[in-house]
Structure 1
């Protein structure tokens, strides 16, 4: 993604979070860009929109995102079947070369469907080589052919990351999606194996863990078809250490063994014994929905890491997180995460950009704690994707444990219409704790007595400044008033974070 595309994406995410008018100055400040760049980005986004104006402007108020059009645009981008972008072209070429590795593939065969010249191919070669270097893989070009050389484990990891970059959300949609260049028969077989795993365990494997398991089995089948297991360079026997690991979860071990047997039957080819161990690792590295383990099941390391997250985030969020159900819920996420770190299994968080925007402070705190945990327990670096999942956990904790917003209703006399307003507000917004209804002349004295007030609803303009969030509403509490109040409540919750 280019820097311009990244700025456009951040701008759209910020506007989708606000869902109200935002001035160019506010956008420029939050995105750390100039006002001129804001205007240019908005013009570019609107010019590219095929569904009319995506970002509306209103003099004196700023810019506002048409959320319905934005969601339609996002959906169309994910499901488009139109022209392949340069980035997508390189991904498809890489996928073909990785699946065929170490066999060389003719350059003409790789690129004939993209209709590009030698200069583009040469540029792709440099960019692909740079991408492969992250996996300790190299791209070799000889006599108009290309081949990727490296260890089997690194090849599979690169393929897995490529598949996950497609942002697959709904696994079942794969059987109908013609844009992903997947073998439909292989897709159906792997989906059947996923359903079988869920049936045997009587659970649901949620996203993104189902994508990880799907990717692993699909890659295994694709590699076998392309090059045969005789060219696999992974160890073909199970080590004593791996056998001890398999013994820890006998049910998952048996399921892994059965799935690999089914795969052998499907391919009509024998697979190395170690494939059972690799699939087993993906299963124990997945969080199983509706499966909460008791406290006694967690290892000392899982318990210590979980408690450290809870202690540090409790301090940051000023929330008590001391009861056993909270601990067990987080530990059931931490346990497979630590296994993923140990075995270099990466999960793709397709919501990461939105999480970082909407829960910015929580994400930053989680990332700092994760770095501390990696250093303290000598663990591999905990990725931004993993931190995003942990952020969602604490965001859910906050949403379900929000303290009521202590609110003051104020009018000229403190009686009559303000009492009607109190009834309407209490009915529509139970998250507000209406502490009192007061007149404007009593406001200063009341605020001095109750300094923990977070919101003032007033039916008249205040002549003096107060440090508390204030909203001017009508005594009839119209629909517009309610929308403005909902926005104000969300601002208060964001400030608490």
Structure 2
């Protein structure tokens, strides 16, 4: 069942009664013709979705349990595919025996061959491939590709489970001592760089170190990531932190580790997103231009300028959010590093329209600027920031207008404000006298007061004093308070 078919079935399963095709198409960001064709394909074997003229589509309740079982099978099949991939990649360069692998996963020879084909379709993006040679499953490709693919498969395997909230659920077979050691290294990274790791980057760096430790313990310790150009190395805090972590892993595993691992880890650390203590201040000040380079700002601005927002959003906050993500993302592109978003499928399902619109904008930009397109994982990260901005814009502030009399000038001010900010939620127009008499009441009913007269009394609600004619400076100050 293709992704759109699955979305249609899941959406109808979670709704009572019939859903009109136009509403379903709007929800999923496709045309009604596409909905019709996909439903026809879903019902090709048996009627999973029933339809009724004038009402739309609904799940055939007779088949409902079969559908649930089918999706459980889909998830179990995905987990098995990812598990086989992890098993084969972790056992390189010697490679596990083909028939031993088939026995381990209770598969026939033909079934395992099909699984290898599915895994290889995933591994293409990492420029590696599993082949059957001399009775073994061996990987053609380099060590960096193997590790990046392992990271991808491990996190994807966890993502198709019932859900996960900790590293122990992603790596259920991990030794308790290894888990504790790696968590200590995550803490050390944060302390050395004076940052807080942001999820899901925490999961990615844990996976990266877990894979590194597993590979150097195996015969693969002779396969170092020599593809890295040492001339690009910056001996900065990232390098020193990586050196410290590699030394700790070397002592912990009692293995000698090639110095190129320090370079690889330092580049990986540089590609992650962190929260610095001054990041909150940066967002509050809404001044990202002082912190980010032009390529980062250009990328973020292009998204904001081209996304079809239906309502005004806080562009400055979105710019800051996007820049903070795009900066390490460009480092990842430069170093050909991969970060996996474990929620990518949920994002694509829950925000399908926003994801597709974001992908189109980003693809247009990256294909021209960088001659490449981003992965679904990277686009889903960006989509979340766009969705956040949209949802925050839906929270309208309650605005109270006030002047000396509550008549005349305030009504003129109301008209001018609504012309400039159409979605402004003006709850009332009052006189300054009324406000003084009932301050507690009005303070509970407003998030902001726009007044043509200064109020000497202390107010719990912000007051912006403006001219009755509302000049450009007044309007900018109002917009600043409302974040529009």
CA contact (8 A) 1:356 1:388 kept: yes
How big is the shift at 1:200?
Answer: 3.7
Compared with structure 1, are the counterparts of its residues 221 and 10 closer, same or farther at alpha carbon in structure 2 (3 Å cutoff)? farther
Is the partner of 1:210 in helix, strand or coil? helix
How big is the shift at 1:195?
Answer: 2.6
1:332 to 319, 324, 335: 324
Choose 148-157 or 30-39, whichever is displaced more.
30-39
How big is the shift at 1:259?
Answer: 1.1
Give the Cα separation in 1 of the matches to 2:119 and 2:42.
33
Partner deviation per Cα, 1:103-141 (whole Å, 9 max, x = no partner) = 132223322232333332343344444444443323333
Question: Partner of 1:206 in structure 2?
Answer: 198
Query: How many residue pairs end up in the alignment?
Result: 379
Is the partner of 2:300 in helix, strand or coil? helix
Partner deviation per Cα, 1:265-292 (whole Å, 9 max, x = no partner) = 1111121212122222222222213552
Is the partner of 2:104 in helix, strand or coil? coil
Give the Cα separation in 1 of the matches to 2:119 and 2:243.
36
Matched, 1:137 2:141: no
Give the Cα separation in 1 of the matches to 2:319 and 2:367.
22
Question: Partner of 1:116 in structure 2?
Answer: 107
Partner deviation per Cα, 1:154-211 (whole Å, 9 max, x = no partner) = 1112212111212459886333677x54444433322221132234445432222112
CA contact (8 A) 1:13 1:354 kept: no
How big is the shift at 1:401?
Answer: 2.0
2:312 to 315, 319, 325: 319
1:359 to 337, 344, 351: 351
Question: Partner of 2:10 in structure 1?
Answer: 12
Compared with structure 1, are the counterparts of its residues 197 and 345 closer, same or farther at alpha carbon in structure 2 (3 Å cutoff)? same
2:167 to 157, 174, 179: 174
Partner deviation per Cα, 1:213-244 (whole Å, 9 max, x = no partner) = 112111111111221422x14218861222xx
Question: Partner of 2:91 in structure 1?
Answer: 100
Is the partner of 1:350 in helix, strand or coil? coil
Matched, 1:255 2:241: yes
TM-score normalized by the length of structure 2: 0.65
Compared with structure 1, are the counterparts of its residues 236 and 267 closer, same or farther at alpha carbon in structure 2 (3 Å cutoff)? farther
Question: Partner of 2:446 in structure 1?
Answer: none
Choose 378-387 or 286-295, whichever is displaced more.
286-295
Give the Cα separation in 2 of the matches to 1:60 and 1:384.
35
Give the Cα separation in 2 of the matches to 1:215 and 1:342.
21
Q: CA RMSD of the aligned region, Å? A: 4.2
Give the Cα separation in 1 of the matches to 2:355 and 2:143.
34
Question: Gaps (5+ residues) in structure 2?
Answer: 26-31, 283-287, 399-422, 429-484
How big is the shift at 1:393?
Answer: 1.0
Matched, 1:154 2:145: yes
Question: Partner of 1:187 in structure 2?
Answer: 179
Compared with structure 1, are the counterparts of its residues 395 and 153 closer, same or farther at alpha carbon in structure 2 (3 Å cutoff)? same
CA contact (8 A) 1:371 1:381 kept: yes
How big is the shift at 1:391?
Answer: 1.7
How big is the shift at 1:382?
Answer: 1.9
Question: Partner of 1:400 in structure 2?
Answer: 392
Question: Partner of 2:188 in structure 1?
Answer: 196
Partner deviation per Cα, 1:329-359 (whole Å, 9 max, x = no partner) = 3211111111122222223333334433443
Give the Cα separation in 2 of the matches to 1:187 and 1:298.
35
Question: Partner of 2:413 in structure 1?
Answer: none
Compared with structure 1, are the counterparts of its residues 210 and 335 closer, same or farther at alpha carbon in structure 2 (3 Å cutoff)? same
CA contact (8 A) 1:175 1:188 kept: no
Matched, 1:280 2:266: yes
CA contact (8 A) 2:129 2:139 kept: yes
Compared with structure 1, are the counterparts of its residues 395 and 183 closer, same or farther at alpha carbon in structure 2 (3 Å cutoff)? same
Matched, 1:307 2:301: yes
